[in-house]
Structure 1
Amino acid sequence: MGIEAVAVNEPRSDRPRPDADLRTTPALIVAAIRDAGTQFADLLRLARIEVRGNLRAVATLAVLFGGALLLVLVSLVLLLIALRDAIAVLTGSDILAGAIVALPFLSATAILLRLGFRRMGLRSVGA
């Protein structure tokens, strides 16, 4: 059971040396280009799969939010119709009830129109 002495700077025979590759420089360049092309093709394939999955997710979200927005708009229209009918029952006039329900929307439109004209600098139109 003796201890073997190995010099620190002496190369070991069980490890391959970096300069032991017998391929020429052009062969190594061709192999590197081939490997880079393979890696790039794999990257494009992975990107296509990822983008396809992301597009499906975005399309699903757009459909869901679009459906929710449509339902909210329909419910608001139905609420306004019900409000007009309730006011018509109280006042006895459909025309007056429609004017009362439309008045807040008309005033908001007028205010936004005036603010828009001020912002654009068309004072002669909005004044």
Structure 2
Amino acid sequence: MSNHVLEMKENYNPIKSCSHKILAISDTMDILNGKWKMSIIACLCYKPMRYSELLREVKGISGKVLSRELKDLEMNELIERIVLNTAPVAVEYRITDYGNSLKDLTNTIAEWGFTHRERIISTMKKE
């Protein structure tokens, strides 16, 4: 075993490692909190969308909440608001390169959700 690996083993503290991970998860959840942000990000990972398209696509979100969530996501540099040179002026929202780093996470969450839904439905059918 190399000296570097031995040093890492000697310095490894599972409690400290766990608390670092919890802090990172907490930071992530603070940014992605709420019911809607991951859905908005997931939509924008596939194509830029206008406000009205997002309002239609993200089922159940109100216009006021969508506006607030878009501002939060823009402030955290996950999406960008592009004013199009059209008449009348139109606004489009796009995922940033930084925001696109969440695409794998949205896919993982979606896969888990599909699996969980199937599990719950099959359990309910057995009863």
TM-score category of the 2 structures, normalised to the smaller one: under 0.3
Larger Rg: 1
Higher helix share: 1
Higher strand share: 2
Return the TM-score normalized by structure 1. Answer: 0.27
